[in-house]
Amino acid sequence: MITGADIESEAPVSARLLYNINFNIIPILCNEHTGFRRISVIARPAGTPPRPSEGFVGTGMTCGIDSFHTLLKHTSADMQPEFRLTHLAYLKHGSIFHPGERKKTLPLETFNRETDALYRQNLENARKVADACGLGIVYIESNMDRDIYRGAYGFTAVYRNCALILATQGLWKIYFNSSSGFSLDWYNPSLCTGSADMELTLLPGFSNGTVDFLIGSGDCTRFQKMKDLIDFPLAQKYLDVCWQFEHCGRCGKCYRTLISLEILGALDKFREVFNIDRSRTKDRNDAFAYMLAHRHKAAMEEIWEQSKAKGIHIPSRAYLIWARKRVAEAAVRLRNRICHRL
C-alpha cells in the first residue's frame, strides 16, 4: 500500500473475504486522504458453499479488561443462545514481545526463553478461567512473530487475531474480537494508527462465510467495562493488565486500572492482583502524575473526567512530578533541535 504493488495469492481465497478486502478494507485505508495507494489482492475465489465448521463460539482470553468483559457478557443468562460462548482461545502470535523494558538488552536466546515462559504462564491462567466457566479452550501457536515479522504488534494486533482464527476456521462459527473500549470519537481508519483504532472497519471485513468476526463488548468504554467487572470473581483473581507482565502497579496500564478502581471504590476487591497498600501510598503520586500527562489520550480521557466528577483529590505532589517531567521532556526536545541544527 506504500508502493502500490498488488498482491497475488497462489492459494484460493473465499469469494466473500476477497470481496471485503478489495472493495471495503483497502479503499478505506488507501485514498487521497491517507496517502497510501490502492492495491488489489488477486486470487482465485474458493468454491462455495463455505467449508463446514465445528460451530465453536469463542473469544480470546488474555485476562485483560476487554477479554474478561466479553466473557462476562457472553456467558450471562440473558445472552442469546446462539451467541453464548462455548470456547476461549489463547493465541501465541506476538502479544508478548517486550517482557518489560528492562529486558530489551537480553541475548536473543534468553529473551525467547523468558517470553515462552510468560506465554505458558498466561496460557495456564486462561485455562483456569475456561475451566471455571465450563468452557473449552483452544491454544493456537504461530511462528509469525518469531520467524517472519517481529514487533509492531499494536499496528497489527487485529490482523494477527483474525489470521490465526481463519487458519483454524474449521473450528469456529463466531469469534468475538474484544473491543479496545475506545469511544467513537477516537475511531480512525488509518494504517498509521493502531489496528484497534479501526476495528469497526476491519472485523466485519475479515468474515469469510465460515467464521463471522464480531466485536465483543463494543458498546462499552474501558472504564464502563471495569465498572462491570468489579464484582466478577474471576477478574478479581486473574486480571492481568500489566505491561511488565508481573502486576507491577507502576506501568501505564496498571496506573489507569488502579485509578479506575479507586474512582469506583473497589481497590480492596483486587488485592489478589495488585499490591493495594503500596498503590494507595508510595505509588499514588506517580499514578496521578501519569494520568495528568496522558489525560488527553484515548485510554485516559474518560478516567480523567470520571475522577473530576467523583471529586477525587489529586495530590499536589502529583502535579509537581508531572511538571518536572514536562520540563525534562521540553529540555530533551530543545537539545535535539540544537543538535540537529549543528
Residue 142's domain is classified under what CATH number?
3.40.50
> Residue 34 falls within a domain, yes or no?
yes
Helix (H) or strand (E) segment spanning residue 299: helix 298-309
**Number of residues that make up the chain:** 342
Same domain membership, residue 255 and residue 201:
no
Q: Which residues pair with 137 in a beta bridge?
A: 88
Domain assignment of residue 236, yes or no:
no
Q: Is residue 341 part of a domain?
A: no
Cα torsion 44, 48, 51, 57: sign: positive
Angle among Cα 229, 233, 235 to the nearest 5 degrees reads: 50
* Number of domains, the chain: 3
Residue 211 and residue 320 in one domain: no
Domain identity same for 207 and 94: yes
Among residues 182, 207, 222, which one ends one of the domains? 222
What residues does 13 pair with on adjacent strands?
45
Query: Beta partners for 141?
Result: 92
Q: Show the beta-strand stretches assigned E in the chain.
A: 7-8, 13-14, 41-42, 45-46, 56-60, 87-92, 136-141, 172-178, 212-216
Output the tens digit of pLDDT for each of the chain's 342 residues. Answer: 999 999 999 999 999 999 999 999 999 888 788 889 999 999 998 876 777 899 999 999 999 999 999 999 999 999 999 999 999 999 999 887 654 544 567 787 888 888 888 899 999 999 999 999 999 999 999 988 888 877 788 888 999 999 999 999 999 999 999 998 877 777 778 888 888 888 888 999 999 989 999 999 988 999 999 999 999 999 999 999 998 888 999 999 999 999 999 999 999 999 999 999 999 999 999 999 999 999 988 889 999 999 999 999 899 999 999 998 888 888 888 888 888 776
Q: Does 14 share its domain with 111?
A: no
The values of phi and psi at residue 261, to 5°, are: -65, -35
Task: Encode pLDDT of 208-230 as tens digits.
Answer: 989 999 999 988 999 999 999 99
Are 12 and 79 within one domain? no
pLDDT in tens, 287-303: 999 999 999 888 899 99
Question: pLDDT digit string (tens) for 47-69?
Answer: 767 778 999 999 999 999 999 99
Asked if residue 182 and residue 41 are part of one domain, the reply reads no
Residue 194 falls within a domain, yes or no? Answer: yes
3-state SS of 3-40 is CCCCEECCCCEEHHHHHHHHHHHHHHHCCCCCCCCCCC
Question: Residue 98: what pLDDT?
Answer: 54
- Please tell me whether residues 148 and 210 are part of one structural domain: yes
Same domain for 179 and 274? no
242 domain residue, yes or no: no
Residue at 241: amino acid letter: V
User: Are 103 and 154 found together in one domain?
Assistant: yes
Q: Model pTM greater than 0.85?
A: yes
My answer on whether 98 and 150 are in the same domain is: yes
Q: Judge whether 182 lies within some domain.
A: yes
Q: Which uninterrupted H or E stretch holds 123?
A: helix 108-133
- Assess whether 86 and 123 both reside in one domain: yes
Residues 41 and 61 in one domain: no
319 in a structural domain = yes
Give the mean pLDDT of the chain.
Answer: 90
Domain that holds residue 304: 248-333
